[in-house]
Amino acid sequence: MSNPFVQIVEPLDPKQPLKKFFNLSKLEDVRYACLPFSIRILLEAAVRNCDEFLVKKGDVENILNWKVMQHQNVEVPFKPARVILQDFTGVPAVVDFAAMRDAVKKLGGDPEKINPICPADLVIDHSIQVDFNRQSDSLQKNQDLEFERNKERFEFLKWGSQAFKNLRIIPPGSGIIHQVNLEYLARVVMDQDGYYYPDSVVGTDSHTTMIDGLGVLGWGVGGIEAEAVMLGQPISMVLPEVVGYKLVGNPQPLVTSTDIVLTITKHLRQVGVVGKFVEFFGPGVAQLSIADRATIANMCPEYGATAAYFPVDDISIGYLIQTGRDKEKVMCTKRYLEAVGMLRDFKNSSQDPDFTQVVELDLHTVVPCCSGPKRPQDKVAVSDMKKDFETCLGAKQGFKGFQIAPDRHNSIVKFNFEGCDFELAHGSVVIAAITSCTNTSNPSVMLGAGLLAKKAVEAGLTVKPYIKTSLSPGSGVVTYYLRESGVMRYLSQLGFDVVGYGCMTCIGNSGPLPESVVEAITQGDLVAVGVLSGNRNFEGRVHPNTRANYLASPPLVIAYAIAGTIRIDFAKEPLGINSSGKKIFLKDIWPTRDEIQAVERQFVIPGMFKEVYEKIETVNKAWNALDAPSDKLYTWNPKSTYIKSPPFFDGLTLGLQTPKTIEDAYVLLSFGDSVTTDHISPAGNIARNSPAARYLTSRGLTPREFNSYGSRRGNDAVMARGTFANIRLVNKFIDKQGPQTIHFPSGEILDVFDAAERYKQAGHPLIVLAGKEYGAGSSRDWAAKGPFLLGVKAVLAESYERIHRSNLVGMGVIPLQYLPGEDAGTLGLTGRERYTIIIPEKLKPHMNVQIKLDTGRTFNAIMRFDTDVELTYFHNGGILNYMIRKMAS
């Protein structure tokens, strides 16, 4: 059957075959011209992926009628062009694939049907830690230790790259997944199977949205959902609302892209964009480089949206050429986008589409700022930082409070480091990290940091030696232009040597602090500070000993490192006093925008990108030397503490079981608002007194060999024990922070895992109570897998972050939501009741279900299965069980 939207486009090179594309602008329909550009991509994908065009005409009509249907909970399919993964989420995905092959074989199917159909790139960036810093050989030492710790994981991934088609591994030491995607992997327009069509991507990392800054529609999904996409299953999504974010004006000279994104993050959290697309438009967008836009798009999860889309314009096309992409292909990309009406001119308001809602920001109103001390949306102007921190010291324990007694606000603890005496106080900076793809992808802020370092060194300023400083670029290109421009040596002199190419401090791989520093913090119960150019600063994430953590631009990271404290007013107080006795203020060393742009134009050139990326898959000798088995079925090693066949598919049959009512469930944990996936399934250090540590010790490992929770996501025995193991967990049943709960039958206070095991042995189902924004933060699937293994059957919350709700659905855990206007407080719930959740035989999306308490009380809640496809997954016991049955039959 012919498709009326297919057009033939003449190739630029007459030797190439003719290409086809779907030209939806041929609709000559006012509805198409009014669609947000992000929705046009959903429409094109729906048309292109139809097995038979007319059969799916309903989907096309629903998307074309977006303006009306966006409020109707209409389900539409979306099949992205690519999938990207990082190793913390990639290892469990490959473990699941290996186990699924075993399960399909047991059910009589062909195990090799479990194979990615959608192309997938896995970038190893989460394993390296800042074990060594302030040394010229820190990079090599950290990389050597990374391989020593993770050799078994890396061998497993190398097996996966050989056993599965369409799975490419980018070796460790190459960079951070989102920066590599931005600079190298992204196509903007795909040229495949004789067609041109828009590039699109989903990734097993919430910051996949960074690529939206280049005009590639992308967002983060849970690892479970990504595995289904890789196996050919489309994403079933509710047609989203699209908030138009209008940018006007020009940024002030001292403002960085970091300041802009922190301002937007606070603004959009206040607007409320969870589950929605945000699309940027207006003349102010034309003032932003692609790196600026990528920084804004990167922090999309922090303001809660699904995507943060910047349509492609001429600046996007110029970026593709700047980063060394093939010029001829770039010109084809531009021609295609012009032909289908998807090349944007932000200064032309006649191109502005319709939006659900429009909000506006004048870029000229943005001021230098940080965010913290515990959440990315808590923006603080740099001019207010000192006052704000001192207010937080005495405020009630919470997102903006530490509840330190007033008589202890000026406490000082003396300590000795490397033979010299120093002092720590509340607000002392002990970690200063230029880290994360959020900012290291942006040459303007990186060169700004380098020029500031140069001026600081020339002015005679230094950084105290006990402060853990580090520089972990998102790609080798950053080191290249920092070195060529001459600023790298000044960064090194201040302690900001390159320590690795990976996420590092941003994800909590900050490594140990000096023992004398830890002792001083502990002795004084000090609120020590981490300052980082990352995207998240949740409690317990960056380092166990930094209770306050602030997000800041790379130049400000250096400034606070030099100051040594967050309790400084840069306008009134000097950064330091040099050997000549001269007071040096921040304004004395802050580089101008003209200085930065001049250096950027000279040293950030296409040749650098080509040289770095043409050898990215072969440059790591240690990776090349790894020996991996070639079998299509993985041979599990029962002695391994890293890779273990998961129990998710044990006893799986082809037949479905009818979902049953959950009877007399106990509440395992009761939470307030903003419980993050870091709280649920931490990625960082394994505490020596934790259930996971006890398990690893029983397997013969020493604490030095524990590695991190993130590195052990291929072993369910470790990860189940690490669920709700965050040391900053606040459980309403317990009067202090920590990963413990009450086992109600005995009244004992136990580690969460130990309590869950007791419930499980007695045959008691479990639920979790929570407030707003449950599951905020990273996309980690273990935040759903872990509770599933603990016996949690349902979560009852006021609201969910999008990815985590999807992950719960993917594991067959029921996401329940209080009715509007109701919560645990209004219903008088203490969490000490027992809950019976009535599951009717016939289920439908968003239906209300009845919950009965052992007290005799009854109330209703919304069952947050949002689409019919999600109900299908639930009936199968989860998305992976559904895929196994599908492949086996």
Question: Helix (H, G, I), strand (E, B), or coil: what is residue 826?
Answer: helix
User: Which amino acid is located at 447 in the chain?
Assistant: L
Distance of alpha carbon 8 from alpha carbon 6, whole angstroms: 7
Q: What is the pLDDT of residues 272-295, one digit of tens each?
A: 998 899 999 999 999 999 999 999
Distance of alpha carbon 342 from alpha carbon 828, whole angstroms: 53
Between the CA of residue 746 and those of 661, 734, 750, 832, what are the distances in Å? 25, 15, 10, 13
Number of CB atoms found within 10 A of residue 351's CB? 15
Question: Residue 21: pLDDT above 90?
Answer: no
3-state secondary structure 350-409: HHCCCCCEEEEEEHHHCCCEEECCCCCCCEEEHHHHHHHHHHHHHCCCECCECCCCHHHC
Question: Residue 16: pLDDT above 70?
Answer: no
Q: What is the pLDDT of residues 92-110, one digit of tens each?
A: 999 999 999 999 999 999 9
* Model confidence band, residue 685 (pLDDT cutoffs 50, 70, 90): confident
Q: What is the pLDDT of residues 434-473, one digit of tens each?
A: 999 999 999 999 999 999 999 999 999 999 999 999 999 9
β-strand pairing of 412-417 with 420-425: antiparallel
Q: What is the pLDDT of residues 291-329, one digit of tens each?
A: 999 999 999 999 999 999 999 999 999 999 999 999 999
Question: Residue 56: pLDDT above 70?
Answer: no
Q: Which helix (H) or strand (E) holds 860?
A: strand 858-863
User: What does the pLDDT read at residue 239?
Assistant: 92
Q: Residue 29: what are its φ and ψ, rounded to 5°?
A: -115, 125
Both ends of the chain: CA-CA distance in Å? 29
User: What does the pLDDT read at residue 55?
Assistant: 33
* Model confidence band, residue 44 (pLDDT cutoffs 50, 70, 90): confident
**369-611 and 662-681+723-888: same fold?**
no
Q: What is the pLDDT of residues 537-553, one digit of tens each?
A: 988 889 989 999 999 99
Q: What is the mean pLDDT of residues 770-774?
A: 95
Number of CB atoms found within 10 A of residue 60's CB? 19
- CATH for 369-611? 3.30.499.10
Distance of alpha carbon 637 from alpha carbon 784, whole angstroms: 25
Distance of alpha carbon 41 from alpha carbon 311, whole angstroms: 10
Residue position matching structure tokens 């920066």: 179
Locate 472 and state its tokens: 């972990």
Question: Residue 496: pLDDT above 90?
Answer: yes
The number of residues making up the chain comes to: 889
Whether 221 and 229 have beta carbons less than 8 Å apart is answered as: yes
- CATH for 240-311+346-367? 3.40.1060.10
Average pLDDT, the chain: 93
- Quick one: what percent of the chain has pLDDT higher than 70? 97
Whether 729 and 717 have beta carbons less than 8 Å apart is answered as: no
What is the domain class of 662-681+723-888 according to CATH?
Answer: alpha beta
Could you give the angle at which helices 37-48 and 57-64 cross, rounded to 10 degrees? 170
Query: Quick one: residue 664, left, alpha or beta (phi over 0 = left, psi -120 to 50 = alpha)?
Result: left
User: What does the pLDDT read at residue 780?
Assistant: 83
Q: What is the pLDDT of residues 707-727, one digit of tens each?
A: 889 889 999 999 999 999 998
Which of 865, 809, 801, 806 has the alpha carbon at shortest distance from 300?
Answer: 801
Number of CB atoms found within 10 A of residue 75's CB? 17
Q: What is the pLDDT of residues 607-645, one digit of tens each?
A: 999 999 999 988 899 999 999 888 999 999 999 999 999
User: What does the pLDDT read at residue 53?
Assistant: 37
Distance of alpha carbon 170 from alpha carbon 627, whole angstroms: 16
Which residues, at least 6 apart from 2, have a Cβ–Cβ distance to it below 8 Å?
none
Q: What is the pLDDT of residues 171-207, one digit of tens each?
A: 999 999 999 999 999 999 998 888 899 999 999 998 9
Question: Residue 7: pLDDT above 70?
Answer: no
Whether 708 and 681 have beta carbons less than 8 Å apart is answered as: no
Which of 301, 284, 352, 336 has the alpha carbon at shortest distance from 37?
Answer: 352
Its CATH architecture, for the domain 80-238, is 2-Layer Sandwich (3.30)
Q: What is the mean pLDDT of residues 349-358?
A: 96
Question: Helix (H, G, I), strand (E, B), or coil: what is residue 480?
Answer: helix
Locate 211 and state its tokens: 């690529």
User: Which amino acid is located at 58 in the chain?
Assistant: G
Distance of alpha carbon 279 from alpha carbon 762, whole angstroms: 51
User: What does the pLDDT read at residue 658?
Assistant: 86
Number of CB atoms found within 10 A of residue 614's CB? 12
> DSSP readout, 235-256?
EEEEPPPEEEEEEES---TT--
User: What does the pLDDT read at residue 72?
Assistant: 85
Distance of alpha carbon 783 from alpha carbon 871, whole angstroms: 20
Question: Helix (H, G, I), strand (E, B), or coil: what is residue 432?
Answer: strand
Which of 350, 297, 333, 406 has the alpha carbon at shortest distance from 33?
Answer: 350
Q: Is the Cα dihedral 762, 764, 769, 774 positive or negative?
A: positive
Locate 275 and state its tokens: 């589950």
Q: Is the Cα dihedral 390, 396, 397, 400 positive or negative?
A: negative
Which residues, at least 6 apart from 698, have a Cβ–Cβ distance to it below 8 Å?
none
Peptide bond into 765 cis (omega under 30): no
β-strand pairing of 200-203 with 217-220: parallel
β-strand pairing of 662-670 with 835-837: antiparallel
Q: Residue 85: what are its φ and ψ, rounded to 5°?
A: -135, 150
Q: What is the mean pLDDT of residues 809-835?
A: 97
Taking the domains of the chain in order of start, what are their residue ranges? Answer: 6-77, 80-238, 240-311+346-367, 369-611, 662-681+723-888
User: What does the pLDDT read at residue 561?
Assistant: 98
